[in-house]
Structure 1
Amino acid sequence: MQTTEVTYPSGRRAAQVTPTRLADLVWMVNLGTLRFHAWPVTAPWVDLVDELRLDLDPQPGTGIREAAQAALELRRVLAEAGLEAWCKTSGGRGLHVYSPIEPTDFIDARHAAIAIGRELARRMPTAVTTKWWKEERGERIFVDYNQMARDRLMASAYSIRPVAGALVSAPLLWDEVPTVDPTAFTVPTMGERWREVGDPWAPMYSAAPGSLGIALSWYERDAAAGEGEMPYPPEYPKMPGEPPRVQPSRARAAQESAQS
Structure 2
Amino acid sequence: MRHAAIAFGRELERRMPGEVTTKWWKEERGERIFVDYNQNARDRTIASAYSIRPKPGAPVSAPVAWDELPEITPEDFTVATMPARYEEVGDKHAAIDDVQHSLQPLLDLYARDEEGDMPYLPDYPKMPGEPKRVQPSRDTDRKR
| Fold match by TM threshold 0.5 | yes
Aligned residue in 1 for 2:33: 141
Aligned residue in 2 for 1:213: 104
What residue ranges of structure 1 are gaps of 5+ in the alignment? 1-108
Pairing of 1:1-260 with structure 2 (within 5 A):
109-205=1-97, 207-223=98-114, 227-251=115-139, 253-255=140-142
Over 3 Å counting, the alpha-carbon distance change for 1:190 and 1:243 in structure 2 is same
Over 3 Å counting, the alpha-carbon distance change for 1:234 and 1:185 in structure 2 is same
Amino acid at match of 2:110: Y
Over 3 Å counting, the alpha-carbon distance change for 1:129 and 1:196 in structure 2 is same
* SS state at 1:246 partner: coil
* SS state at 1:191 partner: helix
Higher strand share: 1
Residues paired across the two proteins, number? 144
Deviation at 1:180, TM superposition (A): 2.5
> Alpha-carbon deviations, 1:141-189, whole Å to 9, x = none?
1111100101122212111112232211111123323333211111111
> Alpha-carbon deviations, 1:1-30, whole Å to 9, x = none?
xxxxxxxxxxxxxxxxxxxxxxxxxxxxxx
> Alpha-carbon deviations, 1:41-88, whole Å to 9, x = none?
xxxxxxxxxxxxxxxxxxxxxxxxxxxxxxxxxxxxxxxxxxxxxxxx
Q: Matches of 2:28 and 2:86 in 1, distance apart?
A: 40
Over 3 Å counting, the alpha-carbon distance change for 1:255 and 1:123 in structure 2 is closer
TM-score (norm 1): 0.52
> Alpha-carbon deviations, 1:113-163, whole Å to 9, x = none?
001101111122112110011221122111111001011222121111122
* SS state at 1:170 partner: coil
Q: Matches of 2:142 and 2:131 in 1, distance apart?
A: 16
Q: Matches of 1:220 and 1:178 in 2, distance apart?
A: 36
* SS state at 2:44 partner: coil
Deviation at 1:255, TM superposition (A): 4.5
